[in-house]
Structure 1
Amino acid sequence: MTTREEPPTAPFALVDQHCHGVARSPLTTRQFTAYLTESDSPAAPGTTFFDTQLGFALRRWCPPLLGLPAHCPPADYLARRAELGTAETLRLLLGATGITDFLVDTGLSDGLTTPEETAAAAGGRAHEIARLETLAERTADTAGTCRAFLRELPGAVREAARTAVGFKSVVAYRHGLDFDPARPAPEEVRRAADGWLATRKPGDRLHDPVLLRHLLWTAADTALPLQLHTGFGDPDLRLHRSDPLLLTDFVRAVAPTGCPLVLLHTYPYHRGAAYLAHAFPHVYTDVGLTLTHVGARAGAVLAETLELAPFGKLMFSTDAYGLPELYVTATRLYTHALTRLLDGWVREGAWTAGDARRVTEMISAGTAQRLYRLDPATG
């Protein structure tokens, strides 16, 4: 049985509203496959991370872009990749995605391409998403004293807001989403900063729940979109404490600031995230990372999200990290799943073709362009 050839790029514009840089250096097989999983451990003996939904999706979509047949053996693909070199592989893969704008989380940067380098490989534009915890940690590294830290941190957030199009928090990793939703009092913040800085060494991560809340509220006061990791990720988090429904009281409390909240990833809580986007006008959601990892089941998960999420509140993203292949698999899985899903609803008479096109454009690019104030004319 043969399958219909897919177009080389998405047939509509794509704004990647959450992503990361990719590795600059050649990768060993073990380094490459480590990017195919959220686990922080090697594959179990006798197994490989290529034998996953993501691994199979990669083997479907990426080899033809490097001159190989789809579903070729992993060893053949990795040999071809090494033959082409990192820069050419990046150009061929990112250039085939059709992404016009890359909103890059700069909280992870060691050994990775910059936002500008990532976007340039695709002929697109780069935009920064500033990670709050990284801003706080860098401020603490240079402040020296509690007083200086508390004086400089709001300025660091405001300075980032001058050039970034949004913020991101990984409070789900550092504490959990079951935090006190109220804005912490100044004295509470001072005591927490005193305690953290008293024992902190340069480079130490921020885990204090009061300071994490203070960061969230400081960012909310800028009214820029605030992205929040929810749902699954690596074993640093406790999955049951990353359910976006735990944010309900914070969602209510932050509404007067005018800050839009963007729920990232969300799986397996994507239906709960869709409810929050349905119930609260300043909440948006995406299924980045999720569609990549569920692979051939992407259409089912996307359909579940669209059961309740308003169509203008869902956005496309890849959450690609480390491998340009993850940009390709994310865009292909999303494009393929959304097209098949909406085409089916049109055939059933549930939707019109015009509405399907309009919703496709909103999810793929339009909503992100509006929310992050991007100029579509030059994208």
Structure 2
Amino acid sequence: MSTEHSAGRACRDLVDAVDLIDHHCHGVIIENPPRAVFEDLMTESPWPSPRGTSGWDSQVGLAIRRRCAPVLDLSPDRSPEDYLARRAELGASEVNRRLLGFARLHTLLLDTGYRGDDILDVAGMAEVSGAPTHEIVRLEAVAEQVAVTLSSGADFPDAYRAALAAATVDAVGLKSIVAYRYGLDFEAARPSEDEVAARAAAWLDEIGRTGRVRLTDPVLLRFGIWCGVDRALPLQFHVGYGDADVDLVRCNPLLMTAWLKATRESGTSVMLLHCYPYHREAGYLAQVYPHVYCDVGLAINYTGARSAAVIAESLELTPFHKALFSTDTFGLPEFYYVGALLFRQGLAETLDDWIAGGHASISDAARVAELIGNANARRVYRLS
């Protein structure tokens, strides 16, 4: 066996053996979905594919068929129709059990703030995955829960702080979707109490007139973020690629630079999620600012066969002690399995390239894999 081949095999083995902590994910659906629902969950687009095509005609579609079919006792060249038929035959519980089991995830950090009634909660995910599962609390969801209980905007600041404190008693982190609701170009400064009360009063009036409870006010969004900083828990931000609700131009993490400077000494770790196509910009921020971390979670599934390139690009500037693993799975357990598998393969390929080029040793590769796979998450989220 050649030295180069031996190094490649050793790299794959060591990455395969590393525990993976999925530091940002969601629950999976309980029922077996019909084809239209399954295909909707496969894509970030809210619109159907053209006639004669489907969401399977994509990198993620290829990845599900090629990677997940064998776990369901199918050959990887079977059609989407065959795959969905086999899924229905096994039933959702068995599909969830198999795919989550084969993903071999050590710990899940679960964002519970989106469509919680449609998917498994923290306890449900711990049971089906067999992995310790901890909660990540979404700032905007807490604000919306508080708003429907109030009649006065003046009560909002104290009520929100109290509700956030109660919601985070057992949580290991927080998350903001300001990227969806406004953009990452929010003002850096903490808003005043009077300003928050006035904006809250306007929001409560809007809720009363429309019946719609959706936080989009930039002042209230910023207030929630600063309250999150005050909780001194790791604070996640959706960055970059997402569904049609985001304005991708305003999802560049460099737009947060002034706020990152303002929070540098706050004691709060800032976790930049997904980041694609701004993963290089996120890597720069993680290198420069001591409290910034990043991942390419969502991008791994959606770039499929090219995911190794994205992983390699994300590690051009990101310090190895600042990179984490996630899948951002929502709904389909396929994303847990594909995300973990592609991450392991892509990281092993990247590390093997470094070794082949004389840039790293096997022991260096083992250290990098351990940091990204779990050690960074253990440290930042204070996991035992």
* Mapped contact 1:137–1:203 kept (Cα < 8 A): no
After superposition, the C-alpha distances for 1:99-134 in whole angstroms (9 at most, x for unaligned) are: 011100001112101122113222101100000000
Equivalent residue number for residue 18 of structure 1: 24
Distance 1:42 1:119 in 2: 33
Aligned pairs (5 A) from 1:279-358: 279-358=288-367
**C-alpha deviation, 1:347, in angstroms:** 2.3
Aligned pairs (5 A) from 1:271-286: 271-286=280-295
Match of residue 140, structure 1, among 137, 142, 147: 147
Work out the number of aligned pairs and report it.
370
Equivalent residue number for residue 118 of structure 2: 111
Equivalent residue number for residue 136 of structure 2: 129
Match of residue 37, structure 1, among 40, 43, 51: 43
Match of 1:21, as an amino acid?
Answer: G
Aligned pairs (5 A) from 1:85-96: 85-96=91-102
Distance 1:204 1:180 in 2: 23
1:49 aligns with 2:61: no
Match of residue 67, structure 1, among 73, 83, 86: 73
**C-alpha deviation, 1:200, in angstroms:** 1.1
Match of 2:111, as an amino acid?
Answer: D
CA RMSD of aligned residues (A): 1.5
Match of 1:204, as an amino acid?
Answer: V
Equivalent residue number for residue 178 of structure 1: 185
Structure 1: give runs of 5+ residues left out of the alignment: none
Q: Secondary structure at the match of 1:368?
A: helix
**C-alpha deviation, 1:151, in angstroms:** 2.1
Q: Secondary structure at the match of 1:343?
A: helix
Match of 2:206, as an amino acid?
Answer: T
* Mapped contact 1:25–1:111 kept (Cα < 8 A): no
**C-alpha deviation, 1:263, in angstroms:** 0.4
The runs of at least 4 consecutive aligned structure 1 residues that moved more than 3 Å come to: none
Match of 2:194, as an amino acid?
Answer: E
Match of 2:20, as an amino acid?
Answer: L
Distance 1:22 1:181 in 2: 35
Distance 2:296 2:183 in 1: 20
**C-alpha deviation, 1:33, in angstroms:** 0.9
**C-alpha deviation, 1:10, in angstroms:** 4.0
Q: Secondary structure at the match of 2:265?
A: helix
1:229 aligns with 2:238: yes
1:240 aligns with 2:249: yes
Taking every aligned residue pair, what percent have the same amino acid on both sides?
A: 46
After superposition, the C-alpha distances for 1:81-115 in whole angstroms (9 at most, x for unaligned) are: 00010111110110111101110000111210112
* Mapped contact 1:18–1:102 kept (Cα < 8 A): yes
**C-alpha deviation, 1:203, in angstroms:** 5.1
Equivalent residue number for residue 4 of structure 2: none
Distance 1:142 1:155 in 2: 13
* Mapped contact 2:153–2:198 kept (Cα < 8 A): no
